[in-house]
Structure 1
Amino acid sequence: MSQSPLRVAHLIHSLGPGGAENVLVELAAAADAGGLDPVFLGLSPHPDPVHARTLASLGFPVVQLELDRWDPRAVTRATAVLRGYQVQVIHTHLKHADLVGALAGARLKVPVVSTLHVIEDAPATRMARYKRTAGLLGRRRFATRTLAVSHSQMRWYQQLSGTTEGVEVLPNGVADPGVPDAADRARIRAELDVPDDGLLIGSASLMRPEKGHHLLLDAIARLDPELPVTVALAGDGPLRAELESRVAADPGLARRVRFLGYRDDVPVLLGATDLVLHTSLADALPTTLIHALAVGVPAVATDVGGIPDIVTPETGLIAPTEPAAVASAVQKLATDPALRTRLGAAGRAVFLERFEARGWVERLRAVYDRALAGR
């Protein structure tokens, strides 16, 4: 039975590169599965609002307020935009938007849904703690539903807030890229000079401290030097120059590691790999690992945050955040093609059941409908 269109406004701090930002693109592409009619509102400027361009190219309304973070004018301006689009539900993403959206929703008497995208165990500064608390209070006071993207994040939020009332686990989804194309696989491996008997390891994440790139390099440095491995690091960020310098100064790493920068073809890239390596030190639900499931490529990943919701003994190998343990897991998977095939096939089945975008959007529509019914 078809559903009547539902106008949902998605508020986020900005529409530059990032995992939470990319979630909005995945949602937009599958919006019709839930009868959703989304509007996207970026609150603050970004030097490269790549996702704003993508969303606009898909034909969706995109508004960028261009206000600095935590500018109090954001509430009034956002409220005016949302009123103009006659939104029925407000969906917020990350702390700044949580607070702005909560206050705008109260003014408009519109239900607010908030997705938790990160796990913040110990904010480093007083201001960071204040912002976390402000987002928490905004959600508790005004959000009709709060969505945790993993069971680990649900437990973290319960410890932080003292309750799980109004909170449910709903993992994000990504579009099904289908089985990797042989021509794409061959092209990418040729671009990276992977020999015919070589192994390609892929990683895709922002180069920030919590993403664990130094741990990744520590592990790669411990691999058997005779193992024919090429490591492709997709992504950009504040640590990139430091990481490139480290690799350039180490002949063993320089021989193996390639820096690809920002990529808008991550599923295609990962589909050309033999295994995916993700060494986060903290991560709520990394999209890269969902992409790995989607293309049937097994992963080695660290045992943190929501990663065990994606990578299980049936779909990959989990390791503690210790270089030797990560290297051992990579070595095991790299030298056992039958194991890679078995884990990859199981991962593909898990993706279709739990993380495929159209099913995710249908479940999200049900959340919105419950929020409206319980208003």
Structure 2
Amino acid sequence: MKIAHLVPTLHPDAPEIGLVDLAGAAQDTGMEFVVIALASTSETSQVSALQRLGVPVSELGLGPWDPRAVGRTAQLIRDQRVQLVHTHLPPADVVGAAAALRNRLPAVSTLHRIENLPADRIDRFKRTAKILARQRFMARTIAISQVQREWYRGLSGAGSAQNLVVVPNGVTDPGPVDPAERQRRRSALGVGDGEVLAVSTAPMRRDQGHELLLEALESLPDGLRLVVALAGDGPLRPWLESRVDASDDLTERVRFVHRHQEPTALLGAADLVLHTARSGAAPTALLRAMAAGVPAVATRVGGVPEIVTADTGVLVALHPAAIADALVALTEDGARRELLGTAARERFLAEYEAIGWARRLHELYQEVLTPGRADLGEPQPS
């Protein structure tokens, strides 16, 4: 089974789709992947990772709405003898649907966001057009959480359920933590014996709630043995760095990880993971925390409560005081952190490991490709 995954870009700061995790697991399920990115990127970590797994990667070097994209994509999937096109995010949805149609191939699309921001008339028109296009040209639309499914149904009407399915994402199992590597990373961050390390790997963008986190950290009691590492990069990083530099309390407690260091590599050194985003369908950062056996303090938004439960972490309101209270409680209770982390790891293995994700997608692809189950351009009921 040969599948083409089409994305707007493979830049590491783009919304995380998890193609590297999926490609690593796909080989065990009889699938072969081709990845096509509409734009090129100078940050080639994802491109290199896919190529190391033997996945052909093509970057078209085009803008998101370049009219040449359809023809080039159609030619690539024809040359690669692809059987099904899987698109991610709106620019790729449009191009992928048209390219698949040219080759008389079925296509499926994954939703990656929940967007509840107020929309003007033009935005509502565009959103309606995308929904109608999915219903007409996509054999399946994939939601990654139940909350996202209900959100999409609310936008598109009850009739959209005929080709709307839920397939939760997964991530690669990182395996056991090397104690020596864990200690090395903690020492590099200046984490002393007996101190608790909390890590945030969220991209530094406005919707990720870093300002709530910093306000919560400033309110923590003196003497609390908690160090916070902010990993990742994004447009807000300069502001966050200046915000921390302007506060003695934050300067003492907060560490910035080098912008080119892989954020998830820190999870093996962490005691807690912080996720203070204002929205999210099913944040991959929380799946990676579960995989590492690290409990999370996360805001109760979107699909987050489907991942973080009372057994695996602490859900909090979008308020600095609530975040601070949870941090104090878990920093001072090592036994509880250990119980939550163990349960998080067990739940990851049962529900979110990448091989299980690949198998669920394989079943969906097989259903679409089975003759009589999903005719081109006419979505069929699940």
Fold-level match, TM-score > 0.5?
A: yes
- The answer to whether the 8 Å contact 2:128/2:156 transfers is no
**Contact 1:296/1:345 (<8 A) preserved:** yes
RMSD of Structure 2 on Structure 1 (CA):
1.6
Aligned to 2:379: none
Unpaired runs of at least 5, structure 2 = 375-382
Alpha-carbon distance in 2 for matches of 1:182, 1:27: 27
1:71 equivalent in alignment to 2:62:
no
Structure 1 residues 319-371: Cα deviation after superposition (integer angstroms, max 9, x where no partner): 01011011111111111111111111111110001100011101110010001
Matches within 5 A, 1:143-158: 143-158=138-153
4+ runs deviating over 6 angstroms: none
Q: 1 CA distance for matches of 2:13 and 2:29?
A: 24
- The aligned residue for residue 3 of structure 1 is none
Aligned residues: 370
Secondary structure of 1:200's counterpart equals: strand
Post-superposition Cα deviations, 1:216-262, rounded to whole Å, max 9, x if no partner, equal 11111111121011111111001111111101101100111111144
2:10 equivalent among 7, 11, 15:
15
1:193 matched residue in structure 2: 190
The structure-2 alpha-carbon separation of the partners of 1:370 and 1:31, relative to structure 1 and needing over 3 Å to count, comes to same
Q: 1:347 to 1:262 in 2, by over 3 A?
A: same
The code of the aligned residue for 1:68 comes to G
Deviations along 1:128-175, whole A, 9 cap, x unmatched? 555544432321111111111111111111111113221111111111
Flag structure 1 segments of 5+ consecutive residues without an equivalent. 1-5
The residue aligned with 1:166 is: 163
Residue type of the alignment partner of 1:237 = G
Structure 2 SS opposite 1:121: coil
Shift of the alpha carbon at 1:18? 3.8
Aligned to 1:224: 221
Letter aligned with residue 199 of structure 1: V
Letter in 2 for 1:82: I
The aligned runs of 1:139-288 (5 Å cut-off) are 139-162=134-157, 163-262=160-259, 265-288=262-285
Superposed CA deviations along residues 78-97 of structure 1, whole A, max 9, x for unmatched, are 11111111100100011110
Aligned to 2:55: 60
Shift in CA distance, 92/67, structure 1 to aligned 2, threshold 3 Å: same
Contact 1:12 1:21 in 2 (8 A): no
User: What TM-score comes out, normalization by structure 1 length?
Assistant: 0.95
Residues 72 and 82 of structure 1, relative CA distance in 2, 3 Å threshold: same
SS where residue 243 of structure 1 aligns? helix
1:136–1:161 Cα contact (<8 Å) kept: yes
Task: Say whether residues 1:34 and 2:9 are aligned partners.
Answer: no
SS at match of 2:161: coil
Structure-1 separation of matches of 2:115 and 2:227: 33
Q: In structure 2, what is the equivalent of residue 90 of structure 1?
A: 85
| Equivalent residues of 2:147, 2:302 under 8 A apart | yes
CA contact (8 A) 1:99 1:134 kept: no
Give secondary structure in 2 for the equivalent of 1:231: strand
The residue that corresponds to 1:348 in the other structure is: 345
Secondary structure (helix, strand or coil) at the match of 1:164 reads helix
- Structure 2 residue corresponding to 1:316, chosen from 313, 316, 319: 313
Give distance in 2, aligned partners of 1:216 and 1:165. Answer: 41
Q: What's the CA shift string for 1:5-51, capped at 9, x where partnerless? A: x1100000011014644501111111112211000000023342431
One-letter identity of the residue aligned with 1:332: A
After superposition, what is the alpha-carbon deviation per residue over 1:192-211, rounded to whole angstroms, capped at 9, x for unaligned?
01010111000101111111
* Separation in 2, partners of 1:305, 1:21: 16
